Amino acid sequence: MKDTIFKVVEEERKSLEQVHAKEREIWKIEHDKDQENVSLAIQEALQEQRKISQETLKIAMAEEQKRSKRAVEEAVRRTRNELMEYVKEQKRLDQVIRQRSLSSLELFLSCAQKQLSFLISEEPASTEGGEYEKLTSTDSG
């Protein structure tokens, strides 16, 4: 009877080992499927994240380009205004210099006219050669 019980227990143990082995195989298959599903889900999430990152990067680059464009336009506008102010100032300075030159020339011409008037009023009208002789004789003597 002991042998019979031992055989029955042994058969039951073998039967349970087979069931356990089948369950382990089923679990392994399901585990592999789950692992594959998890891998696919991770890949999809990574692709989605890449797509989101690319869109974010495109938006950020577009905004930066707009900011850069505005900064360049502002710099050009400011430079143009400064250049226009510089040109105006140069024209004003040129006008001042021109005015001074004209004033100096006017003063020179006025003095020359007075000298000529004085010379004309001092000397009586004489011949051309006589006037030359007078001028040269006063220089040498």
Residue 137 domain flag = no
The answer to whether residue 3 is domain-embedded is no
Indicate the pTM of the whole model.
0.46
The rounded average pLDDT for each run of 10 residues, N- to C-terminus, in the chain (141 residues) is: 87 92 94 95 96 96 96 97 97 96 95 93 62 54 46
Residue 137: per-residue pLDDT: 56
> CA–CA separation, 57 vs 43, rounded Å?
21
Is residue 73, in this structure, part of any structural domain at all?
yes
Does a structural domain hold residue 20? Answer: yes
Does some domain include residue 97? yes
Does residue 54 lie in a domain region? yes
Is residue 132 a contact partner of residue 123, using CB atoms and an 8 Å limit?
no
Rounded to the nearest 5 degrees, what angle is found at the Cα of 17, between the Cα atoms of 32 and 1? 175
Q: Examine residue 58 and state whether it is found in any structural domain, yes or no.
A: yes
Q: Where are the alpha helices (H) located in 123-141, listed in sequence order? A: 128-140
Answer whether residue 88 is part of any domain. yes
Q: What does the alpha-carbon distance between residue 74 and residue 82 come to, in Å, rounded to a whole number?
A: 12
Number of domains in the chain: 1
DSSP string, 32-51: HHHHHHHHHHHHHHHHHHHH
Domain that holds residue 50: 12-118
